[in-house]
Each structure stands twice: as structure tokens, then as C-alpha cells.
Structure 1
Amino acid sequence: MRFSTTIAAVAAATLPFASAFHQGFNVAATNLDGSCKTTAQWKTAFQKLHNLPQQISKVRLYASSDCNTLANAVPAAISTNTKILVGVWTEDQAHYTAEKNALEAAIKAHGSDWILAISVGSEDLYRGDTDANTLANQIYDVKGMVHQWNNKKVGHVDTWTAWVDGANQAVIAASDFLGMDGYPYFQNAAIADAASVFWDSVQATQNVAGGKPVWVTETGWPVSGPNSGAAVPSVANAKKYWNQVACQAFKEIPIFWYAYQDFGASPSFGIFGKGGKKIYDLAACP
């Protein structure tokens, strides 16, 4: 089913904390050699995104403490006027505590204007790493921690299949927004069907969101890797998926494309290759 302009209008109406639909990219904290990005390297990444025809100024980062993500990335974000969808890992108590402490330290050091929103956990429900009530309590916990400094929205990122699972309703209730990951590639869709498969997953998530805003936090098409059913990775197909999905989604729903780079991954979804050049053209959308 095509995501209609009527649904888009509903999405806009349920997004009071944004004046326009966010256009962003997922950016990992590691370099090609596995080392952690320095502040200078974060700045380079953010500037590359700003220099795209779409002038991307929003990014999703997966962690707060790992690789000193926020300690290194926030100064770069401030200097480039980039807003961050912050990730807080929830797995194991020590890691979760370190993540909260890193977020708290970044806010104390730099204020909170650089924060777009906060995601507590990423695909925990899909992986079966936790239960909905435990995750919901962690979302409330982070809300309580950051409330004293700002009114940023706090939600969770998971696959669309996890969101439509009725067993996870407690997480929907706790979240200010639903971050939805949807990949037609992993649903074995041919590139000719990919756009409709993607919008079906958006609609399915909207249907269970209870009027809360749905953000697409991950989608993309691999440039290389194994076939997944009828889904064939290639540069040409990745470009087709960008033209068919990204260009329309940017007009209709907050979206964070996957990914800026993903060195060594198979399948690989990265837009920028090892030499820092675009793997395929991201020409301005009509």
C-alpha cells in the first residue's frame, strides 16, 4: 500500500516537536580499521552529510559511552550545527549505567541543544534480549534523568515486526516516538516491489502507534553482499531504492538512512566507500 499524503499529514500532526520532517543518516563510531572516531573525524563525517544535495544535518548514533561516542561527537555536532538522535544501549546493567552516565556528562558539558531525541535501546525486542516491561522501565528511567535539563523526547528503536507484536505494547506506551527499522531486502523483496513493501511496514507501524509519531530509523538497500530471496544487492539497486523511497520519504516522514559507512559488512549498505567517496550518486530529489 502506498503511504498516502493523508497519512503523511497525520504523521505531521502527531509530531509536535519537529517543524519539518527530519532527514538523517545512521553514522557508526568506528573507522575502517576499527578505531574509534576522533572529534575531527566526526566533524568530517558531519560535514560530508551537510554537503550532500539534501544538506543532511541530523544523524542517528547508536551509543553514548561506547567508543566515547558522545564525548567525541558532540563537540563536532555543535561546531557543524548537527543534531543527534542519541542511542542508549540497554543490555546488561553495567553497560546501561555507563551509557546513562555518558549522556548525563555530555549534557552537563554542552547543554542539550545538540539533542534531537533519545532512543533507549535498539532492536532489543526483535533480538529477544529483554522483555517489554523491563525496556519500558528503562525508557521511563532515562526520561526521569534528562527531564531536569531538557524536554527532549525519549523513545525506542526496533524492527517494524517488533512494534506490531502485541506483546510489546508497554514499550509503545512508554515511548514518545517509535523508531522503526524496515528493510525490504531482508523481507526478500525484489527491487521492483521494494517501495511498496517498505511503505506497508510504515503503515503497519502507524496502525499500532496510538497516534504517536513514527520515525523510520533505519532503511536502505545493500550495494554488495548475498542475495536475500528475490532481493539482489547492487549499486544500481541501491540507487533505485534511494530514488524510489528516500526521495518520497523525505517529504512524508522523519527518516534516518542506513548508512553513512559500514566498512567490511556483508551485506554492505554504506553510501560512502573506503576512500570517502560516494558509492552512488545522491542527486537532489525532485
Structure 2
Amino acid sequence: PGSQISAQQISERMQVIKPYVKWIRSFSCTDGNEQIPRIGHENGLKTLVGAWLGSDAEKNEREIEAVIKVAQAGHADIVAVGNEVLLRGDLSEDQLIGLIQRVKQAIPGIPVGYVDAYYEFAVHPRVSDACDVILANCYPFWEGYPFEHSLAYLKGMYQTALSAGRGKKVIVTETGWPNLGSAERAAVPSYENAMRYFINTYTWAA
């Protein structure tokens, strides 16, 4: 979310990434971002379509209405209602569940979930129960684990989300390792670690 983005900008960037991916994820359905799913489908990609939620109820309403419109038009393969709003404290559990249920009722047949740090789904089992799919952000780096154990730790994060979902599909929506910056306890950023982490997680996911 931010500046208005044009269909041309989206199409140009889509051409760069589409040889290497099968899915794209959008974070918002306003400011031009609502065009991303349609253009993604036109380029043969599947879409995880996000509604960006925060503490502003008016903006949230625009996002919810827009993501429903995109999905009803046939451009969403999965819908994500919010991203880390529990982690940031922007919405209460009840508020979030209400929005998830509203979207689910409007677009039957399309999986609806919520994106947050993997452990939030264990902390908030009612949110996990409301979701059709668990969309988990998993960053071993930010929990200070050394690179050598990062893949094993990522798998543990995934298992935590899987247990919280009680059999529901879990998708790792975000992960990665920085190539620059400060260390986080035993986790050290470097170009080599970033590339090796990418290869390791790509191989595991495949």
C-alpha cells in the first residue's frame, strides 16, 4: 500500500518474474493493487490476493469490499484477510475473525485465510479455526538461530503452524535471510547465507 500503481507498471514487472514463479502474492486491493490478480491470471499465474488491514476502520472497509470484488470477478485463487494485524495489535481477535467470516460468506468456494507470524496461529486458535488455509510468515533469522540450523528451525516453524491448523493446509507466505545488516544474536547476515538459505528453502518446498 502506498502510491498509486498503474496496470503498465504491474505488467512490466510481471514479465520479469513470471518465468520463475507459479504464484504471485498481493498485499492490498486499493491504490491500483487490485489490478495485480487480474494481470497475474492473464500471465498464467495463480494468485494469493491480500486485503491490507490496519487500525483505520474506513480503510479496512475499502480493502474488504475491494478484495471481495476481485475474488467475485474470478481473479483470486486464495484470499488473505489481513497481514500481521495481531502481531502489530491493529485489530482484536474478534474484529479479525468477523472480517474473515464476512469475506468467506461473500466468496464461497475460494479458500480464505490470514497471514501472520507462524506462532500467532497457536496463540489464537479461534483465528486458525476461522481460516480455510494457514498463511504463515517464518523467519529463523529474526529468532536469532544460526544459519547452520536455519532449515531445521524453519521446518519446526512450519510444524507449529500445521499443528495449530489441525490438518489445514499451511503455506509459508514469507521467509528469507538477509545479505546485509546487523546480526540477530547467532544469526549472521551475508550474501552466502542469503543464497544458501534461498536454495535450501526452495529445495525443501519443492
Q: Please confirm whether the aligned pair reaches a TM-score higher than 0.5, indicating the same fold.
A: yes
Aligned amino acid, residue 68 of structure 1: G
Aligned amino acid, residue 79 of structure 1: E
Aligned amino acid, residue 45 of structure 1: R
* 1:123 alignment partner, one of 76, 84, 87: 84
Runs of 4+ in 1 over 3 A off after TM superposition: 104-108
TM-aligned CA deviation for residue 152 of structure 1: 0.7
Aligned partner of 2:62 in structure 1 is 98
Cα–Cα, structure 1 residues 206 and 235, in superposed 2: closer, same or farther, change >3 Å? same
Give the helix-richer structure, 1 or 2: 2
Counterpart of 1:207 in 2: which secondary structure?
helix
1:132–1:169 contact (8 Å) kept in structure 2? no
Q: How many residues align?
A: 205
Counterpart of 2:188 in 1: which secondary structure?
coil
* 2:118 alignment partner, one of 139, 151, 160: 160
Unaligned runs of 5+ in 2: none
1:137 aligns with 2:93: no
* 2:29 alignment partner, one of 61, 64, 78: 64
Unaligned runs of 5+ in 1: 1-28, 251-286
Q: Deviations over 1:248-283 (max 9, x none)?
A: 112xxxxxxxxxxxxxxxxxxxxxxxxxxxxxxxxx
Provide the TM-score with structure 1 as the length reference.
0.67
Aligned partner of 1:227 in structure 2 is 183
**Identical-residue share of aligned pairs (%):** 26
Q: Deviations over 1:134-155 (max 9, x none)?
A: 21111001112223xxx11111
Of structures 1 and 2, the one scoring higher in RCO (CA 8 A, sep 6+) is: 1
1:120–1:157 contact (8 Å) kept in structure 2? yes
Provide the alpha-carbon RMSD of the alignment. 1.8
1:46–1:82 contact (8 Å) kept in structure 2? no
Aligned partner of 1:46 in structure 2 is 14
Distance in 1 (CA, whole Å) between partners of 2:153 and 2:4 is 35
Aligned partner of 2:167 in structure 1 is 211
Distance in 2 (CA, whole Å) between partners of 1:58 and 1:39 is 18
* 2:48 alignment partner, one of 85, 100, 104: 85
